[in-house]
Structure 1
Amino acid sequence: MRVVIVGAGDVGTYIAADLAGSHEIAVVDTDGERVAELESTLGVTAIEGDGRSLEILEAAGIREAEVVIASTDDDAVNVMVCGAVRNIADAYTIARAKSADLYETWQTYDAALGIERMLSVDRLTAAALVRTVALPGALAVSTFADGGVEMAEFELGEESELVGKSVAEADEFPSLTFAGVIRDGNVLIPSGETVFEPEDRVVVIGSPSSIRRFARRLAPEATLDPEDDVVIVGGGAVGTHIAEILEERGYAPRLIEHDPDRAEALAERLPGTTVVEGDVTTAGFLTEADIDEADLLVGTLDDETNYVLALLAKNLGVAHTAAIVNESEYVDLFEAAGVDVTIEPRAVVASETTRATQDYADEAATLERDSAEVLEITVQSDSVLAGESIADVAHDLPDGFVIGAVVRDGSLKTPRGGTVVQVGDHVVAFVDTDVLDDVAAAL
């Protein structure tokens, strides 16, 4: 598949690196040195120029492209690129957007903008943080089937109660499937007799409630509950979206915002959130605001403030801390300081963009440095799954493939050997990337 990426900043470079091994990639950017470096390191086609120019887009092979990704740092440029593509090509267009207003406009008038999929940086960042803090022990969390199915990856410590047990002994959740085990970098498809070992990375697929119960079993003290005290520092776009998502999940967070007008507006917008006006950089405010009683503190300000805030919170006895980290080079520093969850907006958007380019599935999530993927597909009449039981179809598919969930008419069915898959079902499956092409062709 030919993919044209306009914008070779951090996000565009991340996307290009992720897709270069499996697709024909052309990258457009005004920075000639940057695109030349990508050409030499990734083997992509490099075009120096402005993506708003039809001449430049033509040089990138826009007419043959199946996907165009507008990933510059300028929302207006991204919209213009997608609009230009619509006029000269038949490509699927993806644009990243920083502006919440632009994203809402697209939701209402998507056809008018010529953008098939718009990725809101702030919304995706907030959603990724909430997913992760809700399961603090999880290394990765992704949702499928309109939120009805979750995939989560956990690493087993030496003291984990699962270590030494078989899958059959650990299988206590009716709506959860042990889909895969990543051991020493190798992908294992577990059977009932598979015994868990320390440092195994276990991938489970199931209903959100089952995933949560499983997480609580692995680390009962780490699981975040709706009655816990969650404090969000910063009432900007990301902080506001985090509060909204938490409210939807039954939480009643506290949000600290230093600007009085903004705080007043947020108090009206967020009925389930206690909005507190105050400046966390002021001496004594954290103590006055009873931050020491928080179960989780989330920093959404600049990296330096978030870092200091996390250190102070730990010193005050806050159980868990999370932070938005905008600069990738700071992530190791945050983790070394004991920050429990760090979310990089650029990496989140890049990952979502990569998912959107998959042509073999409705949704896809990559695990453990591309060693495995979790796919959501809608079963068509020509699929090997159509009308077949899972046990029977297993003989027609290579090893390295496990069906983790089947969703039919909005209802989750936990797959068993006798489960018959029907046309129109949404199937969420774990796949070893070594057999991904064979599986994708068969499904």
Structure 2
Amino acid sequence: MKIIIVGCGKVGTSLAERLSVEDHDLVMVDLSEQKVEEVSNRYDAMGIVGNGASFNVQQEAGVDTADLFIAVTGEDELNLLCCLMAKKNAKCHTIARVRNPLYNKEIRFIREQLGISMIINPELTTAREILKVLKFPSAIKIDTFAKGRVELLHFRIKPEMGFDGKTIMELMGRLKTDVLICAVERDSEVVIPNGSFVLQDNDILSIAGSLEQTAEFFEKIGVRSKKVRNSLIIGGGTIAHYLALDLLKIGFRVRIIEQRKERCEYLSEMLPGADIINGDGSDKNLLLEEGLTYADSMVALTGLDEENIFLALFAKKHSNAKLVAKVNKIAFNDVIDSFAIDSVVYPKYLTADYILQYVRACQNTIGSNVETLYNILDGRAEALEFSIREASAVTDVPLMDLDLKDNLLICCINRNGTILTPRGQNKIQVGDTVIVVTTNRGLQDIRDILK
């Protein structure tokens, strides 16, 4: 596909990184010559310096022959104008990043009236991701499939769980649950395991199953999550605004520490149910005074990655709170993982996942479609949900007889709302949605699971 990306910031660069490995024809557009040069050289893309909303710049980028036009600059209005101009110039699909909470209530109207294919809001997406782990604090990260009926939960093995030295077959035989262990991260390695794989403490497991099955699994291993009922949020930006709105709706007590006085006044007006504290969130004494020691959860959402990480580490030392830290720029994922912070969220990757899902869906050649896509375990594996719309080489064949690619596992089959844990004799049928976890990159069609 020919894809034009306007905006070479964090999200644009992350998109270029993901899309370039799938051999798309990329054109990067930005007003900054330095950014264009850096991104285009790193990811073998054509670079154009200019305003992405300009008719002439879009013509130079080749919008007439483009399949997809993505606007992810830092300005909502510019992104919308870019997409509007692209729709007038060509017949390509368009995606705009729109972040302002003011527009969030009008997203459907904006999309329909301007003819934009997809509107993505990184801050709202990040807030919803944080909400999921606050509702299920035992998990590091939770991905959902089958319209919320299936969960892919990621959690770290702790000594008290008694998993160390046991094979997956032994463990599942003892627990007798229908969840599937579909990926294991150990140090820098990600494995799609078989039954003989031996688990170790500190491994990060990814398990798949229905909501009831995953809840039963955690109960059987003795992890009864303490309910989170309050949250201390450091940083009062847009993510904090969205997150607080959602938390207040489900009855949380919310406190936000924000340094800018005018922002505190705005949040007080927009979030009447929250406690807004005007102060420096990196002040240790202030954090302790505001009840960090007794907080159920602490979410670090300042504009500095380093500050968020250190705040989480400080909270880890002084409380038993569920810890969440936002990271935007730092690329040392393995170092961050070694700190064992409960959950680290990367807004740029979440945004890229949603757009990549749309790109994969546009590429499908037969009757299957990528419904959901997540990059998991620091982007070293993918979890995909395919909707099966037509018969093919994978349908009506026992799973044991399919010649599947290595490092690939069929995790769940959703059949008319019934969640099936795959066994050898099960068959994929037209109308199913099928969830696959793999370290193979770029699966676009259900047939790609075969060798």
TM-score (norm 1): 0.82
1:378 and 2:387 equivalent?
yes
CA distance in 1, matches of 2:405, 2:341: 41
Structure 1 residues 19 and 173: CA distance shift in structure 2, 3 A = farther
- Choose from 375, 393, 400 the match for 1:391: 400
**Structure 1 residue 20 displacement after superposition:** 0.7
Q: Cα–Cα, structure 1 residues 442 and 382, in superposed 2: closer, same or farther, change >3 Å? A: farther
Distance 1:219 1:345, change over 3 A: farther
Over 3 Å counting, the alpha-carbon distance change for 1:158 and 1:65 in structure 2 is: farther
Task: Indicate conservation of the 8 Å contact 2:255/2:277, yes or no.
Answer: no
Q: Pick which of 176-185 and 60-69 moved more.
A: 176-185
The number of equivalent residue pairs is 432
Q: CA RMSD in A?
A: 3.6
**SS of match in other structure, 2:14:** helix
Matched, 1:405 2:412: yes
Which of 190, 193, 207 is equivalent to 1:190?
193
Alignment CA distance shift 1:429-1:308 (3 Å): closer
Tell me how far apart the structure 1 counterparts of residues 137 and 17 of structure 2 sit (CA, whole Å): 28
2:323 — aligned with what? 321
Q: Deviations over 1:37-64 (max 9, x none)?
A: 2232221111222111222222222233
The secondary structure found in structure 2 opposite 1:126 is: helix
Residue 11 of structure 1 is matched in structure 2 by 11
Q: Percent of aligned positions with the same letter in both sequences?
A: 27
Does the CA-based 8 Å contact 2:69-2:92 persist in structure 1?
yes
CA contact (8 A) 2:386 2:433 kept: yes
Which stretch of the first structure deviates more once superposed, 102-111 or 340-349? 340-349
Aligned match of 1:423: 430
Indicate which of 181, 205, 209 corresponds to 2:208.
205
Structure 1 gaps of 5+ residues are none
1:28 aligned residue: 29
> Hey, what does 1:75 align to over in structure 2?
76
AA at the equivalent of 2:268: A
The alignment status of 1:177 with 2:186, answered yes or no, reads no
Contact 1:401–1:431 at 8 Å: present in 2 too?
yes
Equivalent residue number for residue 263 of structure 1: 268
Q: Secondary structure at the match of 1:357?
A: helix
After superposing the two structures, state which structure 1 stretch, 79-88 or 405-414, moved more. 405-414
Q: d(CA) in 2 for partners of 1:316 and 1:201?
A: 24
The answer (yes or no) to whether the contact 2:383–2:435 under 8 Å persists in 1 is yes
SS for the counterpart of 1:278 is strand
Structure 2 CA distance, aligned partners of 1:52 and 1:441?
Answer: 37
2:358 to 356, 359, 363: 356
In structure 2, the residue corresponding to 1:399 is in which secondary structure?
coil
Q: How far apart are residue 325 of structure 1 and its match?
A: 4.2
Q: What's the offset of the Cα at 1:99?
A: 0.8
Q: What's the counterpart of residue 293 of structure 1?
A: 294
Question: What is aligned with 2:278?
Answer: 279
Residues 78, 217 of structure 1: CA spacing in aligned structure 2 closer, same or farther, 3 A cutoff? farther
Q: Secondary structure at the match of 1:38?
A: helix
Contact 1:174 1:414 in 2 (8 A): no
Is the Cα contact below 8 Å between 2:374 and 2:382 reproduced in 1? Answer: yes
**CA distance, structure 2, for counterparts of residue 3 and residue 375 of structure 1:** 22
TM-score (norm 2): 0.81
User: Partners of 1:407 and 1:309 in 2: how far apart?
Assistant: 41
Structure 1 stretch displaced more, 179-188 or 3-12: 179-188
From the superposition, tell whether residues 333 and 225 of structure 1 become closer, same or farther in structure 2 (CA, over 3 Å).
Answer: same
The match for 1:63 is 64
Partner of 1:127: 128
Following the alignment from structure 1 to structure 2, what is the Cα–Cα distance between the partners of residues 306 and 188? Answer: 30
Deviations 1:129-168 (A, max 9, x none): 2334455565543222222222233454677522222223
SS at match of 2:278: coil
Does the CA-based 8 Å contact 1:234-1:255 persist in structure 2? no
Relative distance call for 1:309 and 1:116 in structure 2 (3 A) is same
Q: For the structure 1 residues 86 and 128, does the alpha-carbon distance in structure 2 shift closer, same or farther, using more than 3 Å as the test?
A: same
